[in-house]
Structure 1
């Protein structure tokens, strides 16, 4: 069926609008700040045949672009095989099993079939980060976990809603295995309501144009996304590009993990090979296959953002399954760090491999950590327990056109940190500091953006703190001569005595009492290009704004800035060796 360009464009925008409204509905109705304020969620439309992505909300987390497609396909296969219950109209499945196309256990997916004339036309699915799914520590980020059972409740695909009615028995099982369960009903109903909103909006589109026309448009959009990605790939000179990215440790064994990547560019196809990467690790920094695939996809989306989000955009990207490495975790390997941390190291490896081939499109490495900080305890003033989950931004890498963005969201998503006022209102904490981490960006022709510096005090009751972060040992790498951004730092002050965790930015079950504080300084982005080529006026401006000292301007950029702010010519090597802060 031939579809005219105007109709095709309208249907494409209509499908996108369906997903955007699901996103908005989910956030507006959710109880948990991590969903309602931080937008740690995503919604999409998927093929009834193979689960292929049709459209995804523009404000959803990019890391879910591949995992939700993968999990929908697995659900369809399990239904066909009889290992999952066959659906009826109004049924909504719940699943968070990482090995069935998920991420970590806290990312809980709902999936609902949309029926037209007695057949499933497509699937609607969404993912929301629940603040807790049980396990050894509040929030699920167990830095010392050695099996997935220690991380929380693992759910295979089961029908939580049957013909539109919440199954009280399944819901009771879930609530009996998680903390602050009385709050989950708000997130559950919000997640289900978002799918129902999507169903109504999609039905309007189908009623307007007809099922056959919309189906033909979906196929055409998939084909065009594939063609557009292939056209972009042809910009990459044929050859093999290599890189290595490092993870600080797995949280149990205090040794770095390696992601070794080679990308073969040939004609209009890229082949990604992770052979030589570290073996499966004991701690929670393993990645399941779905997350590894999705990390590659989102990295290429960063490089070629003009390609529409569709399964067709992934077809020219061939990822060789990294069997025998920590990037293809098998049960019962722990995986709480896969979505928020390992995924960003994978994307970092893709950027590092392709920056020389596409210097005008690829940036230096961003902060690359979601800064997962969970605080769980009992609030005596309110007489109830709580689980607080804090994510944070960091610096973006510099690029060919400008400096990196300061305090940007993580590579894998557009989640933002919840407002300080909301966090202080909901939890017994006080923020003493919430500011840019000046000077944390790597020096370069275009410097990296700055990270975040915040400090939280526990006001009342006892609590335990847990962290699963990264880039505490190695800062985000610079590119094309740029310097690395500063490393992540976590400082815990108990009874006035400050300490840093053994694994730097990974720890769990740190006991806190009122007055104890936690300070987190997130990484700055890597610098892009030779720092000695940076515009001296830009260096002077950074000094004037107290982003760098005059001494740092001299050491990092070779520029002498006087106390009066007068800019001199870039320093020579001899002057740099013999002159201190001007």
Structure 2
């Protein structure tokens, strides 16, 4: 575990009190998340864990969080500050709760609904509790104007002196396809906020407000010092990389992202100058979302053991030019910002860091959440149901291990919708959910594999919205590692025929991968093939026995073992050492 010299932080608290408070800030958020998950009504919250909870000091600096959706966390202080701009702290009471989801007022995309509550102790402001959860539906869908993406709430008073704004709640219920979830999810988030309030109160009762607020200051300073030391271990210099989203859904052109990372002593700068202008389609990333993606992407390599708080942000300088798709303005659509845009920011930053710390870097993941929202009609009653899922892909290879299989991109610690729950709640059937052979990027340490999933509509269905990327080319490798396979979206007819509706078809035709309004007849299926992570290092240096094991486990095919790894197997899938040595020698001579 990395430690820092205690004299680098100006301490007033004794070490034991400091550590108890530090851990209490984390525990407070853990309790918030437990309450939210247990009390929520939406499957995307209680089963798929698409939410985040955090606490902030009186100056709205992050002091504690749960490791739910990293892309939410560093954006939540923008939401809290926007709420306080609309409702100054002098006008707020202990049981007031402000709600918002406006991407241009500190939000991310419209389904992410944020609630902020101040916490007072004997009239003294201790800080703020903030809860953000992805609601199943807030209306809208695939559009070129943010008004088409559903209900967009500026900061509004949801609870005043503990009493709900019932008129606002009715407006919200009238603006969604899933009104049955709304009041339950609101109550669940309110419960999370009150759990944080209770923990704040216990700490203030035990230590007093002065000690508690001093603990907040010191934990921020502590993380800042750990971050400084981590940056100092990265060689000074400028490191550049680029990535892209395959299209915005309305043009066929890739949307480019360019990043330059500048390391100078104990500071690190991230500059997106040169990235493409605002996109027509819904992939634009508001400033808060882009900043959050930068912070969590760097957290992996700036002392991940440091307490997760705003102390890290102090050492990072951001340059995000206006009027680019990474810092757009109203009314640009933003529905895919948390899912497709943030993952490409991570991939580009990791590829830039690969030039600075190649021995530590991880190859890019599948670099997408592959989030979709679909409707399915009950074949007996005609009732319309809305369901959503996040079919994951693989993570990239590491300097010491293969990548993880079928794991959510770093933007969120979310899970896929369990097939059993999906079939219980909705008129659909999961016909397949299996790991996809040859989807991982080859390398000395290969990427993890993606998934092949097939969902059958029992009644009529519609793909209201789906975002993905990596359909032109898979996720890149680092240090000589290779790309993973492409992703693909397909329709399976009742006769079993496959039609590519997004990505690269078998005949070489490419179809835009941002989907909306795609209709399915009863008995037809949506098929999605996610990709794996990129490879780490030269595939010809991978242990041949590991390649043989991958073939036996159907992670790698015999053809790929031979063509990419130079590994030859016998008919019973055992390693042919003589043929392998010859093939690898030949392949290296061609390099």
Report the equivalent of 1:341: 340
Report the equivalent of 1:66: 74
The match for 1:91 among 96, 99, 107 is 96
Matched, 1:6 2:3: no
TM-score (norm 1): 0.94
The match for 1:130 among 100, 124, 135 is 135
Q: Which secondary structure state, in structure 1, belongs to the residue aligned with residue 177 of structure 2?
A: coil
Report if aligned partners of 1:554, 1:576 keep a CA contact under 8 Å in 2: no
Of 239-248 and 373-382, deviating more is 373-382
Offset at residue 477 of structure 1 (A): 0.5
Report if aligned partners of 2:98, 2:156 keep a CA contact under 8 Å in 1: yes
**How far, CA to CA, are the matches of 1:507 and 1:87 in structure 2?**
43
Report the equivalent of 1:418: 417
**How far, CA to CA, are the matches of 2:339 and 2:288 in structure 1?**
13
Q: Which secondary structure state, in structure 2, belongs to the residue aligned with residue 327 of structure 1?
A: coil
Report if aligned partners of 1:377, 1:463 keep a CA contact under 8 Å in 2: yes
Report the equivalent of 1:170: 168
**How far, CA to CA, are the matches of 1:44 and 1:250 in structure 2?**
32
Matched, 1:559 2:571: no
1:114-172 CA-to-partner distances (Å, cap 9, x unmatched) read 1112132211001100111011x4xxxx2xx1110011110001011111121111111
Report the equivalent of 2:239: 241
Offset at residue 104 of structure 1 (A): 0.5
Q: Decide whether aligned partners of structure 1 residues 264 and 133 sit closer, same or farther in structure 2, where only a CA change above 3 A counts.
A: same
Report the equivalent of 2:407: 408
Report the equivalent of 1:208: 206
- Consecutive unaligned residues of structure 1, counting only runs of 5 or more, are 578-582
Q: Decide whether aligned partners of structure 1 residues 326 and 464 sit closer, same or farther in structure 2, where only a CA change above 3 A counts.
A: closer
Report the equivalent of 2:284: 286
Question: In angstroms, what is the RMSD of aligned CA positions?
Answer: 1.7
Report if aligned partners of 2:117, 2:128 keep a CA contact under 8 Å in 1: yes
**How far, CA to CA, are the matches of 1:288 and 1:163 in structure 2?**
32
Report if aligned partners of 2:249, 2:512 keep a CA contact under 8 Å in 1: no
**How far, CA to CA, are the matches of 1:467 and 1:264 in structure 2?**
35
Report the equivalent of 2:398: 399
Offset at residue 393 of structure 1 (A): 1.4
The match for 1:55 among 64, 77, 85 is 64
Offset at residue 31 of structure 1 (A): 0.9
**How far, CA to CA, are the matches of 1:576 and 1:456 in structure 2?**
44
Matched, 1:499 2:499: yes
**How far, CA to CA, are the matches of 1:463 and 1:257 in structure 2?**
27
Question: After superposition, where does 1:33-432 map in structure 2 within 5 Å?
Answer: 33-49=43-59, 51-58=60-67, 60-80=68-88, 86-135=91-140, 137=141, 142=142, 145-304=143-302, 305-381=304-380, 384-432=383-431
Report if aligned partners of 2:146, 2:330 keep a CA contact under 8 Å in 1: yes
**How far, CA to CA, are the matches of 2:467 and 2:344 in structure 1?**
14
**How far, CA to CA, are the matches of 1:244 and 1:263 in structure 2?**
11
Report the equivalent of 1:535: 543
**How far, CA to CA, are the matches of 1:418 and 1:546 in structure 2?**
24
Report if aligned partners of 2:53, 2:73 keep a CA contact under 8 Å in 1: no
Report the equivalent of 1:439: 438
Report if aligned partners of 1:374, 1:388 keep a CA contact under 8 Å in 2: yes
Q: Decide whether aligned partners of structure 1 residues 464 and 341 sit closer, same or farther in structure 2, where only a CA change above 3 A counts.
A: closer
**How far, CA to CA, are the matches of 1:89 and 1:102 in structure 2?**
23
Offset at residue 573 of structure 1 (A): 5.5
1:357-385 CA-to-partner distances (Å, cap 9, x unmatched) read 21232101100111112111432546633
**How far, CA to CA, are the matches of 1:566 and 1:392 in structure 2?**
34
**How far, CA to CA, are the matches of 1:326 and 1:383 in structure 2?**
40
Q: Decide whether aligned partners of structure 1 residues 381 and 25 sit closer, same or farther in structure 2, where only a CA change above 3 A counts.
A: farther
- Consecutive unaligned residues of structure 2, counting only runs of 5 or more, are 1-10, 503-510
**How far, CA to CA, are the matches of 1:441 and 1:150 in structure 2?**
36
Offset at residue 549 of structure 1 (A): 2.4
Q: Decide whether aligned partners of structure 1 residues 574 and 317 sit closer, same or farther in structure 2, where only a CA change above 3 A counts.
A: closer
